[in-house]
Chains A and B, each alone.
Chain A
Amino acid sequence: MSDATGRAIRLLDLVPFLRANPGMNIKEIATEFKVSVSEIVSDLDLLMVCGLPGYTPLELIDLSTDEGYVTLRDPQNLEYPRNFTIHELLILKIALSALLVDSPPMLHSEIGSLISKLDHQMPNQISSEGILFVPDNILNLRRIGEEALVKNQQVEISYRNDTKDELTNRKISLIREYESEGEYFWDAWCHLANAKRTFNLEKISSATLSMDPSSIGDLSGESAALTVRLRIRQKSQFFAKHQNILKQTEEPEIYEARIYQREWLVREILSAGETATVITPNDLKVQVKKRATQALSQYQ
């Protein structure tokens, strides 16, 4: 930007700023506009002789300085600040998008309306749908988790339990957050189950910070794991999804896994078709067979 343009822009910005912030001293104004004191003094001198045609004192910008403090009484027709440029509109959209992450869901529609308001200012050559940010529940949950850990407070969640096929409301005290394969989990003390549980953030439909302080119970008596033996096709989706819990045996395609909930495994196997088969324990095998046969009967 040339010096002349830069100065013209600064003068246009200076008038409404001085009007809205009366009684600032010249040094503060220079700091605000990131120029030297002498440049601001020169700008103020120029503004004092600017005005509308006629150029009598009544039509000039009414501005005075008293011991370094500036007062602007009549801005003539320069009262309003300059409109946003396209670049600034895009920057504001990005800033509001970032705010969506930090704000509770109750504010999302308000922020969304503000984004739409800015979109209406976007000229035709720029798509108003050219910048899009989807309010993401996971990021919002992670912020709530962070806050709960910092403030040492419980979190009240609504959790979708695929294994039990139910939605429950429960209070939890967070122990840690971790990431695995792009998904986020909370290890927490569940006050409903009165035991430690792991929660997949994808399955939490809502979460709010509770006023109750966090409290973690006895972690030593966790439920015993069951070892299962499975035949699994490599390169199958089942293998890709569960490889972190599978331990290869000496036989090809035979794996062992330690699981905590039988129902969870039965449901996972039910969608695996021929790519995963339970070998032991027998009762789990029988359950899969029974459920698959019942499902087949629904299609006959």
Chain B
Amino acid sequence: MPKSEIFRRVAGYEGTSEAMERMFERDKDELRSMGIEIEVASHDPLFEDEVGYRILAERYRMKPNFNARELGLLSVALAVVGNDLDATGSNIAQRLNSLNVTPINPDEIYLFSPRTIEGNLVALTRAIADRSKIHFEYQKSGSQEKEIREVYPFGLGGWRGDWYLVGEDLSRDDVRVFKLSRISTSIIVDKKRNSYELPEDFRVRDYLIMLKTPEYRTVIKIRNGSGQALLAKHVNHVVEIGEEDDWRLFEIYFEDINDALAAIATYGPDVVVQQPLELKQLLIENFKKLSENHV
């Protein structure tokens, strides 16, 4: 449809041609933010200069396809946090309900009551989606003072029921982590969109210390029948690499040298470090002091 036709037929386009052009651009932006792309193309093969605007159904229709079971999970997920999602949640649910697929609800889930999610999460997800600057009042751990922070929000991480914002703190010119429960005000989202570029290969995991994979590599031998609790605790970071006589040999990853020392020393003579040397020396020192002090 040519622009002139749109101006003539769609209610609301009034005023000077400049004003109508501005309104048209605004409406196109709004539709784009709602996932609807407007294409520009020639609508008349004889007059290629005369462009028209169209929305292709295949460009805006819901992707991906969901099966009945997946729809069930999505419906229950929305119900879990439904009270906190305002119109966004009900609009998603309504469109899922328009798919002509009857959801199969998972009966393995026992729900006590809708879960409360952080009040600021909805505003934050909007800011991340629009790449808009945000500001809020923040109280650092162990501090009584509250500071206003201006942040480009990059991502969110959830751990043990708490949510963490990872973003560029503009006054500190560095990427920082903010615990949402320490944000004491509602988050204000700037209206300007696309204010920043996300760092290449950004991953929330790289900034949250509790989600980092342990990287301190040790080689230890464990007496047969011992160290069961140690192996169970580090089950995701253990590789069995051999055995000798009454011992089994493992590669185990810990957070750092102190974490390794505390975990291994409790087993006394039943768990012995082979590598690295620094940890071995620390353990020898630890047992020497214990032996000297307990006389």
A residues near B (Cβ < 8 Å) are 1-5, 8-9, 12-13, 16-17, 19-21, 32-34, 77-78, 80-92, 94-99, 101-104, 106-107, 110-111, 114, 117, 120-121, 125-127, 129-134, 136, 138-139, 143, 146-147, 150, 160-162, 165-167, 203, 205, 237, 267-274, 277-278, 285-286, 288-289, 291-299
Contacts and interface: CB of A to CB of B under 8 A. Distances in A.
B203 to A, nearest CB: 4
Task: Determine the interface band of chain B, counting residues with CB < 8 A from chain A.
Answer: 35 or more
Given A4-B27, A80-B62, A125-B131, A294 B266 contact: no
B78 interface: yes
Given A21-B97, A294-B269, A146 B129 contact: no
A134 B293 CA distance: 43
16 contacts: A2-B26, A8-B31, A16-B100, A20-B97, A82-B61, A87-B88, A94-B156, A94-B158, A129-B204, A129-B205, A130-B155, A130-B156, A130-B198, A132-B211, A273-B265, A292-B294
A125 B110 CA distance: 37
Contacts of B81: 94-95, 98
Contacts of A99: 73, 76-77, 80, 109
B169 to A, nearest CB: 17
Given A129-B203, A139-B160, A291-B269, A87 B70 contact: no
Interface string B50-71: 0000000100111110000110
B158 A91 contact: no
B35 interface: yes
A271 B261 contact: yes
B157 interface: yes
A84 B283 CA distance: 56
Nearest to A184: B160
B202 A90 contact: no
A114 B131 contact: no
Contacts, number: 308
B117 to A, nearest CB: 6
Contacts of B159: 133-134, 136
Contacts of B272: 295, 298-299
B295 A289 contact: yes
B222 to A, nearest CB: 10
B287 interface: yes
B291 interface: yes
Contact of B154 (A1, A85, A130, A273): A130
B294 A298 contact: no
B280 A299 contact: yes
B172 interface: no
Contacts of B188: none
Contacts of A203: 229, 233
B131 A165 contact: no
A273 B156 contact: no
Interface in B146-163: 154-161
Contact of B31 (A5, A160, A271, A297): A5
B229 A166 contact: yes
Contact of B98 (A16, A285, A292): A16
Contacts of A297: 269
Given A114-B70, A130-B202, 17 more contacts: A4-B10, A9-B31, A32-B94, A81-B98, A82-B35, A92-B92, A94-B125, A96-B77, A99-B77, A104-B108, A125-B198, A130-B155, A132-B157, A160-B232, A166-B229, A295-B272, A298-B272
Given A82-B95, A129-B204, A299-B283, A288 B198 contact: no
A278 B294 contact: yes
B125 A81 contact: no
Given A130-B155, A130-B198, A165-B228, A91 B62 contact: no
Of the candidates A2, A270, A277, A278, the one having the most CB atoms from chain B within 10 angstroms of its own CB is A270
Interface in B130-147: 130-131
